[in-house]
Amino acid sequence: MSTLRFENIDKELLTPLMRQYVAEKESRPDCLIFMRLGDFYEVFFDDALLVARELELKLTGRDCGLDERAPMCGVPHHAVDKYLNRLLERGYKIAICEQVEDPAEAQGLVAREVVRVLTPGTQLDPDSLDASKYSIICAVLEEDGAYGIAACDLSSGHFETSDLLGLQAESHLFDELERFAPVEFVVNEKFVQNLKFRDYCTRKQITVTTLPDSSFSSKRASEFGIKYNEKDLLWHRSSAGLIYYLQDTQGMVPTHFGEIKPYRFRDYMILDRSARMNLELTETLRDRKRRGSLLWAVDHCKTAMGSRNLRQWLEQPLLNIAQIERRQDAVA
């Protein structure tokens, strides 16, 4: 069986279809390229070797203009979602390359282009999500020992953002990451070098995308309609980086977030990882299960939205007495 890889390809000798595939791969090297060919989505070369292994599919080959056939595997278009979900669960990013013209009207090769990018943090399939908790994609911007953090759940429109400053900024950042429990990160080039962060992502097998600092700019924040003042440091820029990434992967700017405002750490009790674990707020200490936790005991919400809100209240306790009493009155 052929094991021809991208690095061994002479692009000048490839067939037009294979050049089309390789061009899309070069534009999105961190993605698996699923290209629509008739009634199937096909993958080739290195992507085919990986997908065949992960999904236990039969690996075949296709003439590509070279002496060796290109490794190939595919799935029917009507069943593609279940295969994509399995890859997303394992942390892969997937670019869907569709036919963008009618084959009957095409002169020569049918035009194809990437129409959407699927990632663990942008998963919208309700059958693959736990409706009782947020599926968080988190952006972190590091600059001069300070951090901007932005986190959202794309399916519900939930969005949180803040600055982390001072001597304990990094410690508080990782406390917040434990609270958010992201399934995907978007970070700047400075923060991706943080050894503690890299170890965190390796242990939890979380997908990470690195963007240049230009993606985390105040100018972008203004373009996305984020309101801030000149004294604000990083929260609006981390928010801009996150929205830019969502625009790039989804092909449009999400419009269901509402007004994006920062939360202030002085309004909430900061719980570190040890406190969360020992209090068993959302999972038990022994077997890491929801059953037996405080959330399991008190969550009698009738809707998934209510369960998600209650979870956030438990993980981010208020400090202001008046706000606590208003919350108590609301549920009394």
Q: Regarding the domain delimited by 268-332, which CATH topology (the fold level of the hierarchy) does it fall under?
A: MutS, DNA mismatch repair protein; Chain A, domain 3 (1.10.1420)
Identify the residue whose tokens are 């890859």.
87
Q: Specify the CATH number of the domain 120-264.
A: 3.30.420.110
Across the 332 residues of the chain, what is the mean pLDDT of every consecutive 10-residue run?
A: 73 90 93 93 94 94 88 93 93 92 77 91 82 92 96 94 93 94 96 96 94 95 93 94 94 89 90 89 89 92 91 91 90 73
CA distances from 32 to 72, 117, 122, 294, 305 (A): 13, 9, 15, 40, 33
CA distance 117 to 246: 9
Whether the CB-CB separation of 3 and 71 falls below 8 Å is answered with yes
Beta strands in 132-254 (DSSP E): 137-143, 146-153, 158-164, 184-188, 207-211
pTM: 0.85
Count CB-CB contacts under 10 A for residue 325: 11
CA distance 43 to 22: 11
Sheet with 40-44: list strands edge to edge. Answer: 60-62, 70-76, 40-44, 31-37, 93-99, 112-118
Q: Taking the domains of the chain in order of start, what are their residue ranges?
A: 6-118, 120-264, 268-332
pLDDT of residue 287: 87
pLDDT of residue 123: 86
pLDDT of residue 2: 60
CA distance 234 to 70: 47
Q: How far apart are the two ends of the chain, measured CA to CA in Å?
A: 67
Identify the residue whose tokens are 């794309």.
154
Short-list 242, 269, 228, CA closest to 186: 242
Whether the CB-CB separation of 109 and 16 falls below 8 Å is answered with yes
Token code pair at residue 254: 């999400």
Q: Specify the CATH number of the domain 6-118.
A: 3.40.1170.10
Helix axes 45-55, 16-27, angle to 10 degrees: 80
